[in-house]
């Protein structure tokens, strides 16, 4: 049984990793900036110990990082410079705490010359981890299936449209946060097999046209595909536009069949498994009207 510090435990990847580790009988120390949030309460109810820590506060990381291993996630909401600074701080704190293993979740193809800003930032953090002297594993997840139940994709689906900035016939590799968590827990639990490895992960590859059909079947209502112009994405975020342009021109190839053969324990979920398991009634429920003043 290991004691694993899990960053991003209130979020998608860290939350799934914490659940998989707890289910396998390991001890989880869940790090969050808000130990009094409902997400932190849920982690406590599952058996995790919750600790307050902020990537911007090295002393909080020093106080929270103890035990055998760390699951490290980085946040890019503050932009790539912030992501790099915080990622380096986290790696330095893990090295100072002399942890036996760090499993860092980055992004698929971060080790190639993508030119995508939030992939290049992850590459810098990966390099920093490799140079830190701490035994490491890097996971590079493909595009998240979970993206389709939130934000502008969910807004579109409410109106019967799957809007995505790629040509309808161009395949994209995909993974659910649940499978990322299962894979990370496997890597943490089998340190000797995974140390020093960088592995891109995906559980399915689908075109937007195929995704549209799968979403319609799972939602039980008609859905049509609408290709969002890249120029529109660029007007909102040049970083995301660079990513979708990379998806369309180079493509995000990951060896889905090879991963399924090598790591059957993960119990990989295809896009149709994932879509069928979502609570579409609440995802598609109309957004509540803003309060009147």
Which is nearer to ligand NAP, 16 or 219 (by Cβ)?
16
Query: Residue 158 forms beta bridges with which residues?
Result: none
Kindly state the smallest distance separating residue 84's Cβ from ligand NAP, in Å: 11
Task: Using alpha carbons, select from 194, 99, 184 the residue that is nearest to residue 137.
Answer: 194
In the list 28, 73, 129, 138, the residue contacting ligand NAP (rule: CB under 6 A) is 73
Choose which of 4, 6, 14, 212 interacts with ligand NAP (CB under 6 A). Answer: 14
- Of 282 and 286, CB closest to ligand NAP: 282
> Between residues 10 and 137, which has the closer beta carbon with respect to ligand NAP?
10
CA dist 276 and 71 (Å) reads 29
Phi, psi (deg, nearest 5) at residue 107: -155, 145
Could you say which of 1, 75, 217, 285 contacts ligand NAP (CB under 6 A)? Answer: 75
Residue 130 burial by CB count (10 A; 0-12/13-18/19+): exposed, middle or buried?
A: middle
29 in contact with ligand NAP (CB under 6 A): no
Tell me which residues in 85-114 interact with ligand NAP (CB under 6 A): 86, 107
How far is C-alpha 96 from the geometric centre of its chain's CA atoms? 26
User: Is there binding between residue 216 and ligand NAP (CB under 6 A)?
Assistant: no
Judged by CB under 6 A, the residue of 4, 12, 50, 104 near ligand NAP is 12
Strand order in the sheet with 143-144: 143-144, 172-175, 204-206
Indicate the helix (H) or strand (E) that contains 89. Answer: helix 80-96
Q: Which is nearer to ligand NAP, 34 or 276 (CB)?
A: 34
Q: Site residues for ligand NAP, window 30-59 (CB under 6 A)? A: 32-34, 53-56
Paired tokens of 35:
């130990």
- Run of H or E residues at 17: helix 12-23
- For ligand NAP, the binding residues in 149-188 under the rule CB under 6 A are none
Return the H-helix or E-strand segment holding 69.
strand 69-72
Q: Indicate whether 120 belongs to the interface with ligand NAP (CB under 6 A).
A: no
Residue with the closest Cβ to ligand NAP? 11
Cβ partners under 8 Å of residue 94, min gap 6: 65, 70, 72, 102, 132, 134
246 binds ligand NAP (CB under 6 A): no
- Between 90 and 216, name the residue whose CB sits nearer to ligand NAP: 90
Binding site for ligand NAP (CB under 6 A): 7-14, 32-34, 53-56, 73-76, 86, 107, 118, 141, 143-144, 147
């Amino acid at each position: 049984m290991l004691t694993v510090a899990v960053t991003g435990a209130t979020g998608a990847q860290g939350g799934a990793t914490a659940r998989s580790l707890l289910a396998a009988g390991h001890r989880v120390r869940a790090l969050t900036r808000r130990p009094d949030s409902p997400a932190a309460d849920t982690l406590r109810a599952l058996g995790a110990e919750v600790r307050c820590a902020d990537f911007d506060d090295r002393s909080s990381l020093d106080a929270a990082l103890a035990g055998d291993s760390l699951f490290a996630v980085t946040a890019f909401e503050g932009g790539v410079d912030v992501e790099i600074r915080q990622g380096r701080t986290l790696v330095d704190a893990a090295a100072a705490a002399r942890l036996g293993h760090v499993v860092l979740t980055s992004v698929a193809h971060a080790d190639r010359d993508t030119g995508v800003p939030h992939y290049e930032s992850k590459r810098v953090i990966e390099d920093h981890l490799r140079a830190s002297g701490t035994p490491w594993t890097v996971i590079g997840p493909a595009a998240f299936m979970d993206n389709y139940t939130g934000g502008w994709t969910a807004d579109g689906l409410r109106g019967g449209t799957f809007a995505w900035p790629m040509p309808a016939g161009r395949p994209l590799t995909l993974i659910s946060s649940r499978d990322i968590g299962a894979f990370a827990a496997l890597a943490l639990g089998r340190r000797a097999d995974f140390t020093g490895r960088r592995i891109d992960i995906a559980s399915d590859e689908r075109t937007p046209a195929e995704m549209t059909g799968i979403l319609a079947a799972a939602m039980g209502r008609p859905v049509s595909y609408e290709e969002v112009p890249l120029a529109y994405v660029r007007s909102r975020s040049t970083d995301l536009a660079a990513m979708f342009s990379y998806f369309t021109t180079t493509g995000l190839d990951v060896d889905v069949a090879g991963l399924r053969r090598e790591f059957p324990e993960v119990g990989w979920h295809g896009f149709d498994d994932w879509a069928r398991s979502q609570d579409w009634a609440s995802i598609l429920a109309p957004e509540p009207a803003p309060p009147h003043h």
